[in-house]
Amino acid sequence: MQVPDVDAAAARRMFASLPTMAVATLAPDGSPHVVPLWFVWPEDAVYLSVRREGRTWANAGADPRVALTVDVGRSWIELAGIEVIGRAERLPAEHAEMRKPISAWHEKYRPLLSANGFARLAEEIRGLGFLRVVPDRISAWDHARGG
């Protein structure tokens, strides 16, 4: 059971520090495509890092409707999470509006890209892009509370 209209600030406080968020996009044939992505969630929107040559980027360009999920817990009784519904705006990493989100992204993932990690990332991902998703609706679930 989901509870709609979760407060965005509360959801951000609980989930923004997690490493990945799943994003669901629609392929041109209408089939869903779901992948876990690195993300940052400053106050204005969720920013998910993607490869500009990948399916997620292409799908969001053809149909910007997306669903995002993130959760905590391992056992059934511990699971709690949110679903964010919105529209994705595609922004290349070099876009002027990406300065603050990119800084937040670098800060968040710096420990995971120590030593030569950033150089390797830049070498492997030729076109880094971001999907900016302003939440239209946030729903939550919490198995421990039965909802």
- Report which of 83, 97, 87, 98 is spatially closest to residue 60, judged by C-alpha positions: 87
Cα separation, 142 vs 147, whole angstroms: 5
Measured from the Cβ of residue 128, the count of other Cβ atoms closer than 10 Å reads 17
pLDDT tens readout for residues 104-125 = 988 998 877 766 655 565 566 6
CATH for 8-145 is 2.30.110.10
85: which strand partners? 67, 137
pLDDT tens readout for residues 13-23 = 999 999 999 99
Q: How far is CA 80 from CA 17, 68, 88, in A?
A: 15, 14, 24
Q: What is the pLDDT of residue 115?
A: 66
* Contact assessment for residue 89 and residue 130, using Cβ atoms and an 8 Å cutoff: no
Amino acid in position 138 = I
pLDDT tens by residue, the chain, 147 residues? 444 568 889 999 999 999 999 999 999 999 999 999 999 999 889 999 999 999 999 999 999 999 999 999 888 888 889 999 999 999 998 899 999 998 998 899 887 776 665 556 556 667 889 999 999 999 998 877 765
Q: What is the pLDDT of residue 79?
A: 87
For the CA atoms of 20, 15, 106, 133, what is the dihedral angle to 10 degrees?
A: 80
Measured from the Cβ of residue 5, the count of other Cβ atoms closer than 10 Å reads 9
> For the chain, which residues make up each domain, given as ranges?
8-145
Q: What is the pLDDT of residue 106?
A: 85
Cα separation, 124 vs 122, whole angstroms: 6
* Model pTM score: 0.87
Amino acid in position 87 = R
Cα separation, 117 vs 114, whole angstroms: 5
